[in-house]
């Protein structure tokens, strides 16, 4: 049982340093993690029977469309963007809104990503006609980070503005059901871009949190409205949705997010074999729930005899605090990154075409650090590759392989666990602990499916001529472009 696992003490946790690992007697236990989490963040109980893991982009698309087709009260979509080619999806939303006159639709997406093609077809021009056709029943909000770049922002090409922060959360709510993922809404995420997907059904309290979260962020976003839907692409305007100046709302946002968080921290009286903790990360506002929890988790894992740690990120650029804790640990660890062939930027034009080899450089540096500090014997670094596919998975799994009655811990959501995720992007992720054997088995199977297309890498991999990193890419990393990856 979970109480059996969580009661075990820790012998020691290594101190975190920027140089060589050093021993330290810092007692951390997972039961302490539970108490620590409950003191800080909302928690929601669920049963394994309510939780379904999906395995493929096509499953994700099917469940997403089913959510729209069956929604009767409200649909909430929070995503980086909706692909400008998704006309069938917009038609589906329109049909459902026509069928259910009391149904409402709220969309939260990223300002820069959704408008960068303007005046050509864009995500914003695709969504705008819905706001005109259905009036107040459809609301679309586009979040723009308070980067304080001022007049300099006008000099930055549209695509590069996203490097200074995005609305990166991905949650899809249909009445009392929610679909959690790291996937956005476009053709590749529905066909050949691998991600993680978790559907939670019949959970009014959790979906209330999700809806309220979107409403909270909408207060610090621009509201989209259609000015003319008789032309193609439709024209639109964006209006700031707050009394606070758009360039100076960070402190107000931080306070309101903290108040929002507090409002959901009442005791969850629902029973269940699984506990879910939502974690907000908005580094630009000083909100660092995810970062605090993941750092604590990476320390707590050292106290579980027989623990196994698995981590994946499609864009492998671990934040420094995470990197140090992983290298300083001695828990058997497996990390899956995207092969350059599975990187979504492979073949891109301009500077973005350098991104796959930039990740190769960062991955190589991490591997060398593992070797330097003696971690290579207990840490396996792998790369995922599947012909014609790209890799976008992210998350953490912790399991106890020496206990038949083990607890499974997973971290799922929008975050790539990078410095950018911590400092620039707006993220929402979920830490989940389950004592359900069936759900634990499904989470293990999820890992096995990812591992099936993964192969180990070593120094010879990075020494190969095909993995050579150009001087120009090294220069870009040297001047700080890695902070935007």
Contact between 151 and 247 under an 8 Å Cβ cutoff? The reply is no
- 77 vs 400: which has the higher pLDDT: 77
Residue 145 has pLDDT above 80, yes or no: yes
Range from 31-35, 48-52, 452-456 carrying the lowest mean pLDDT: 31-35
**Residue 469 backbone class (left: φ over 0; alpha: ψ -120 to 50; beta: rest):** beta
Tell me what pLDDT residue 247 has.
Answer: 77
Residue 124 parent element (H or E) = helix 123-134
Residue 21 has pLDDT above 50, yes or no: no
Tell me what pLDDT residue 467 has.
Answer: 95
Tell me what pLDDT residue 153 has.
Answer: 80
Of 205, 198, 183, nearest to 83 by C-alpha is: 183
Residue 25 parent element (H or E) = none
Range from 20-34, 85-99, 387-401, 431-445 carrying the lowest mean pLDDT: 20-34
Quote the percentage of the chain above a pLDDT of 90: 78
Alpha-carbon distances of 259 from 228, 240, 294, 355, rounded to whole Å: 39, 22, 22, 38
- The per-residue pLDDT for range 80-124, each reduced to its tens digit, is 999 999 999 999 999 999 999 999 999 999 999 999 988 889 999
Tell me what pLDDT residue 22 has.
Answer: 37
Tell me what pLDDT residue 11 has.
Answer: 33
Tell me what pLDDT residue 16 has.
Answer: 33
> Among the residues of 302-458, which ranges form H helices?
320-328, 355-372, 419-423, 437-452
Residue 24 has pLDDT above 50, yes or no: no
How far apart (Å, rounded) are the C-alpha atoms in residues 8 and 12? 12
- The per-residue pLDDT for range 235-256, each reduced to its tens digit, is 999 999 988 887 778 999 999 9
Tell me what pLDDT residue 176 has.
Answer: 98
Q: What is the mean pLDDT of residues 129-155?
A: 90
Quote the percentage of the chain above a pLDDT of 70: 92
How far apart (Å, rounded) are the C-alpha atoms in residues 269 and 442? 26
Of 37, 43, 70, 69, nearest to 202 by C-alpha is: 70
Tell me what pLDDT residue 48 has.
Answer: 97
Tell me what pLDDT residue 20 has.
Answer: 39
How far apart (Å, rounded) are the C-alpha atoms in residues 311 and 237? 41
Tell me what pLDDT residue 368 has.
Answer: 97
Q: For residue 270, what pLDDT band results from cuts at 50, 70 and 90?
A: confident
Tell me what pLDDT residue 187 has.
Answer: 98
Tell me what pLDDT residue 455 has.
Answer: 98
Q: Read off φ and ψ for residue 188, nearest 5 degrees.
A: -65, -40
Q: For residue 403, what pLDDT band results from cuts at 50, 70 and 90?
A: low
Rg (CA), the chain: 22
Tell me what pLDDT residue 8 has.
Answer: 36
Tell me what pLDDT residue 3 has.
Answer: 37
**Residue 33 backbone class (left: φ over 0; alpha: ψ -120 to 50; beta: rest):** alpha
- The per-residue pLDDT for range 336-393, each reduced to its tens digit, is 999 999 999 988 888 889 999 999 999 999 999 999 999 999 999 999 999 999 999 9
Q: Which domains does the chain have, with CATH numbers?
A: 2-40+276-484 (3.30.870.10), 50-259 (3.30.870.10)
Q: For residue 44, what pLDDT band results from cuts at 50, 70 and 90?
A: very high
- The per-residue pLDDT for range 284-326, each reduced to its tens digit, is 999 999 999 999 999 989 988 889 999 999 999 999 999 999 9
């Amino acid at each position: 049982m979970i109480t059996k696992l969580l009661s075990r003490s820790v012998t020691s946790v290594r101190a975190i340093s920027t140089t060589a690992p050093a021993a330290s007697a810092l007692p951390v236990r997972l039961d302490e993690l539970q108490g620590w989490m409950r003191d800080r963040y909302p928690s929601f109980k669920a049963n394994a029977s309510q939780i379904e893991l999906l395995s493929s982009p096509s499953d994700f698309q099917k469940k997403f469309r089913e959510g729209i087709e069956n929604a009767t009260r409200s649909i909430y979509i929070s995503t980086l963007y909706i692909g400008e080619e998704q006309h069938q999806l917009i038609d589906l939303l329109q049909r459902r809104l026509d069928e259910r006159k009391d149904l409402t639709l709220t969309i939260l997406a990223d300002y820069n990503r959704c408008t960068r093609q303007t005046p050509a077809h864009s995500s914003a021009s695709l969504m705008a006609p819905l706001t005109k056709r259905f009036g107040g029943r459809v609301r679309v909000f586009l979040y723009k980070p308070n980067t304080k770049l001022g007049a300099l922002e006008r000099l930055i090409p549209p695509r590069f503005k996203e490097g200074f922060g995005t609305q990166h959360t991905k949650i899809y709510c249909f009445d009392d059901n929610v679909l959690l993922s790291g996937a956005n809404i476009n053709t590749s995420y529905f066909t050949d871009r691998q991600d993680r997907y978790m559907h939670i059904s019949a959970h009014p309290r959790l979906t209330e949190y999700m809806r309220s979260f979107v409403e909270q962020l909408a207060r610090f976003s621009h509201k989209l409205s259609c000015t003319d839907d008789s032309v193609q692409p439709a024209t639109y305007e964006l209006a700031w949705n707050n009394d606070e100046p758009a360039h100076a709302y960070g402190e107000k946002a931080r306070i309101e997010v903290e108040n929002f968080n507090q409002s959901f921290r009442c005791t969850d009286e629902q029973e269940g074999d699984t506990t879910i903790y939502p974690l907000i990360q908005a580094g630009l506002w000083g909100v660092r729930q995810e970062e605090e929890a993941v750092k604590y988790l990476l320390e707590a894992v050292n106290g579980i005899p027989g623990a196994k740690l698995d981590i994946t990120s499609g864009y492998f650029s671990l934040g420094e605090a995470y990197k140090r804790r992983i290298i300083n640990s001695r828990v058997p660890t497996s990390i899956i990154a995207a092969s350059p062939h599975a990187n979504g930027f492979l073949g891109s034009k301009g500077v973005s075409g350098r991104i796959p080899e930039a990740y190769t450089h960062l991955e190589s540096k991490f591997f060398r650090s593992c070797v330097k500090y003696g971690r290579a014997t207990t840490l396996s670094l792998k790369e995922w590759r599947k012909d014609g596919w790209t890799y976008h998975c992210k998350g953490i799994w912790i399991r106890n392989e020496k206990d038949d009655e083990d607890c499974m811990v997973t971290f799922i959501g929008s975050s790539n666990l990078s410095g950018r995720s911590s400092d620039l992007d707006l993220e929402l992720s979920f830490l989940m602990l389950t004592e359900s054997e069936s759900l634990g088995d499904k989470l293990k199977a999820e890992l096995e499916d990812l591992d099936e297309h993964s192969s180990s890498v070593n120094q010879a991999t990075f020494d190969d001529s095909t993995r050579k990193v150009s001087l120009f890419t090294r220069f870009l990393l040297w001047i700080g472009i890695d902070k935007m990856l």
